[in-house]
Chain A
Amino acid sequence: MTAGPRPALVRADHLGRVFDVSKPWLNRVLEGEDRKLLHAVTDVSFEIAPNEVYALVGESGSGKSTIGKMIVGLLQPTAGDIAIGESPRTGRSTRLQMIFQSPFASMNPRWRVRDIIAETIADPSIDRGARAGELLEKVGLSAEDAEKFPHEFSGGQRQRIAVARALAADPDFIVCDEPTSALDVSVQAQVLNLMRDLQEELALSYLFISHDLAVVRYMADRIGVLYLGRLVEDAPRDALFAEPLHPYTRMLLEAAPRLDAFGREAPPPQGEIPDPIDPPSGCAFHPRCPLANRRCKTEAPRTLALENRCVACHAVEEGRSA
């Protein structure tokens, strides 16, 4: 369900992150170049309610992974705040966990699965071996698998281990960063179903990060669409798919390959994602937008709060979007 009157579990408030991607100082002086700043995330605000799955969807350079890392505390924001529960967070908290994209790089290849899972167990009074076995069974593997090494498992099984590891910390909230994009379709379905079941059973909240609209639609209650580091639209799932407001959301939906669109001859979207180091002026989407006018080229749109959803677009604000 959507964030109603209940207090938010996670709140991102005007979040921003700038990376310095300049060359070293000496090279800059010699080559007469300026500092290069990459605005990976700019002014992103959203809330995640308890027991809600909030998805961030976007293409490369949208800043979705950066936001996920900032939420769990692996990266510090350069602007804005993150609040967990009622109190602004200080330092890292074990109530937050993360499931990573790569089933291969996310586990130390030289550790046994038991130790990989046990590492996240925060409570020292727990019998780690027993707990690891219990968690493995919860994610559909067997307790004996705890003695094995990661390379003895397939990609899908490793992602189950990653889920077990995240659960070992007894979290309220898990950031899932493209957890299935490295998996095959049939295995992806297994992992997505497992994650959905666990979310219901343990009353978890997810921040689900993905580039795949179909996956997001299957997992999320609420969806935020990112373009070049800005949140362009934020809406409940059904509303977003039934009536996408932002032209970029529409383009994404239009471009997503469909199983029932045999020999589709629809005109493909125009243009490509601009260089995030040198983004277009005004609304970053204007060079690709069919509705762009002069105002879009000069003035960045502000976020327009509608009933239960937000959108940042001049065309919608002016009623030109039809």
Chain B
Amino acid sequence: MTQSPVLSVTDLVVEIPTRRGVLRPVDSVSFDIAAGEVLGVVGESGAGKSMTGSAVIGLIDPPGRIASGEVRLNGARIDNLRPSEMRRIRGKRIGMVFQDPMASLNPLLTVGDQLEETIQVHLGLRRAEARKRAIAALEEVGIPAADRRIDSYPHEFSGGMRQRVVIALALAAEPEMVIADEPTTALDVSVQAQIVALLRRLCRERGAAVMLITHDMGVIAETADRVAVMYAGRVVEIGPVREVVGAPSHPYSVGLMGATPSTSGDAASERLKQIPGAMPRLLSIPSGCAFHPRCPRAFDTCDREAPPLLRSGSSLAACWLCSPDHQHLVQSATLPEAIE
């Protein structure tokens, strides 16, 4: 990437002190997102993907806190801002779309009130202009008869339409980036496709950077430009979508893609690949590479030392197999066929 990234996260660590010890739901996470780019963050529950999103927008519930690392928005640090300053950035410079649209909408105000307020506050327009902008924004997200629907309350919209309103709201202040945390999880398949397409189109048109957090590999494959796979608080693989989803390097990514059932191909009679075990709890993250107890290709280094992100093709993978010292291990077996 030649231009400087919109969002740049470096060695981010989030800690939650509890009486049973300090939890690290996010551990040394680094990534960049460029303007107009969609970075998909995938992982299973407990991987730390949502916590990473919350950390970026400064919405970690106490006693959790950012213990170290940096978050930069267009070059300026935003991880150490005061809550009041952060509040000004959220909504204005970073738009947010969550799984539950009602979490972002005030049920007591009409959709128009909320849109107009955001536009007035952040863009400094007068009321009449703000209303015109609001109607245009609703039309843009595909709400039919926007000039009439603008005076409806959130509960008068269906689930999919509500999520469209939230997208309009997230984009109303023309933010530099949008964080979408499981934006389609609560929606039906046929509606989900519409929302994903809408989000991608609008962000591309406006050149906003998008951080798309989801557990759905299919949504990631179709939407993201680059993908970060998270496991037990760390990014285990990051790279272009074709590579990470189509030809993953990290054994966890390999397992994840193999475990995802598909509607295409002739795999119907084949067995799903399965990864043994489950995501470790935050209190008992294994030593070394956190994935090693479940990894079919783990060897002696893996339980001693956590691997850094190493180059593998055009992506980076946190796996000792990608280290030049261990190339002989890679040759001995090509990618694992059946992980069972």
Measured CB to CB, the residues of A under 8 A from B are 59-60, 154, 156-157, 184-190, 192-193, 196, 211-215, 217-218, 237-238, 241, 251-265, 267-269, 272-273
Contact = CB atoms under 8 A, between A and B. Distances in A.
B166 to A, nearest CB: 15
B268 A186 contact: no
Given A214-B260, A258-B262, A185 B44 contact: yes
A201 B45 CA distance: 32
A59 B189 contact: yes
A13 B148 CA distance: 45
B245 interface: yes
B189 A189 contact: no
B245 A262 contact: yes
Nearest to B217: A259
Contacts of A258: 218, 221-222, 262-264
B301 interface: no
B188 A59 contact: yes
Interface string B135-161: 000000000000000000000001111
Contacts of A253: 263
Residue of A252, A255, A257, A265 ringed by the most chain B CB atoms within 10 A: A257
Given A193-B271, A218-B272, A262-B245, A185 B215 contact: yes
Contacts of A154: 278
Contacts of B109: none
A190 B246 CA distance: 22
A263 B197 CA distance: 10
Contacts of B217: 185, 257, 259
A263 B219 CA distance: 10
Interface string B194-227: 1011000000000000000001111101110100
A49 to B, nearest CB: 19
A76 to B, nearest CB: 28
Contacts of B273: 189
A59 B44 contact: no
Given A185-B217, A185-B256, A272-B161, A257 B268 contact: no
B68 interface: no
B283 interface: no
Contact of A257 (B222, B255, B259): B222
A320 to B, nearest CB: 22
A193 B272 contact: yes
A256 B268 contact: no
Nearest to A215: B261
A188 B259 contact: yes
A218 B222 contact: no
Given A189-B274, A192-B272, A262-B246, A241 B193 contact: no
A246 B194 CA distance: 20
A237 B268 contact: yes
B326 interface: no
Contacts of B242: 262
Interface string B259-295: 1111111001001111110110000000000000000
Given A258-B262, A261-B222, A184 B215 contact: yes
Nearest to B45: A184
Nearest to A267: B197
Given A189-B261, A258-B218, A258-B264, 11 more contacts: A187-B44, A189-B273, A189-B274, A214-B263, A238-B268, A252-B190, A257-B196, A257-B221, A258-B221, A262-B222, A272-B159
B235 interface: no
B264 A189 contact: no
A52 to B, nearest CB: 15
A186 B274 contact: yes
A257 B218 contact: yes
Contact of B263 (A184, A187, A241, A265): A241
Contacts of B278: 154, 156-157, 184, 186-187
